[in-house]
Amino acid sequence: MKAVPPTLRQCPGGISTHPQDYVRVACAILTIALSLLFPSGSRAQTDREFTLAPTAGATWFDQKLDFECEASYGFRFGMGADRRFSVVMDYSQVDPARKTTGKSARISSLRALAQCRILTGSVRPYLMGGFGGLLFNFDDANDAAGGSASAGGGVEYAPWKRTKFFAEYSAAFYRMRSVTYSSSGSVLSTGERSTDALQSVAAGVSVGF
């Protein structure tokens, strides 16, 4: 990777909008998923469960962002249709630093995810996927935001009825355009739009109620 001189600032460009827009999108996706999982009628309620889970892990980035791999944290709220299918609203945050300049940033992710458990015993491997948004807050460049599509998988261990431990890997794919700025904030060059991935591993403890 070609290093960015200290007098230049490089960041992903693209849609510049308010983060509330992506909250609305994720909430709309979650509402649609819930309407499919919980149709009106006389369906039994016994297997349905609400869950809350803190998460911690690590996130790494595409090379062009020039970020160090960094610890991440967040939380998720989930609702299950049965032992196999559930939907979750997942929020995570990571505060990486530039490799070349040391300047920091804050990256927030909000996703609506569907989970499908391959097995339904006490050890439950699962697949997941969904949509959401990413918000980039830079100390050395203009902020940026954009939609994302996520996919991944993990394993869940349920030693007790209402408590589950899980670990997972996921990748959030997003479209971006690299923009290089001068020290005064002027745009020097704009790259082609490309699809990049924000990859992460996470673990947590989920409590049902």
Among all chains, which residue has been given the structure tokens 């460049």? 141
Domain span including residue 143: 10-35+50-208
User: Residue 45 falls within a domain, yes or no?
Assistant: no
On whether the pTM is more than 0.95, the answer is no
Which one, of 86, 163, 89, lies nearest residue 126 by Cα?
A: 86
Cα-based angle 55, 72, 24 (whole degrees, multiple of 5): 75
User: Is residue 43 one of the residues assigned to a domain?
Assistant: no
Within 8 A by CB and 6+ apart from 180, the residues are 4, 8, 9, 10, 187, 188, 189, 190
* 105 is a domain residue: yes
The pLDDT of residue 139:
86
Please list, in sequence order, all residues whose beta carbon lies within 8 angstroms of the beta carbon of residue 68, skipping any fewer than 6 positions away: 96, 97, 98, 99
Query: What is the C-alpha to C-alpha distance for residues 149 and 175, in angstroms, rounded to an integer?
Result: 10
Angle at 30 between CA 105 and CA 58, to 5 degrees: 35
20 inside domain: yes
| 117 part of a folded domain | yes
Is 41 within the bounds of a domain?
no
CA 73 – CA 86 distance, rounded (Å): 21
* pLDDT given at position 186: 73
Report the CATH number at residue 73: 2.40.160.20
The pLDDT of residue 32 is 60
**Per residue of the chain (209 residues), what is the pLDDT tens digit?**
444 433 334 445 443 445 455 556 556 666 665 565 555 554 445 557 899 999 999 999 988 888 999 999 999 999 998 889 999 999 999 999 988 888 899 999 999 999 999 999 999 999 999 999 999 998 877 788 889 999 999 999 999 989 999 999 999 999 887 777 666 667 777 778 889 999 999 999 999 98
Instruction: Classify residue 25: in a domain, yes or no.
Output: yes
Number of domains in the chain: 1
Contacts of 150 (CB under 8 A, 6+ apart): 111, 113, 128, 129, 130, 131, 132, 170, 171, 172, 173
Alpha helices in the chain (DSSP H): 19-37
- List beta partners, residue 207: 52, 163
Q: 3-class DSSP state for residue 118?
A: coil
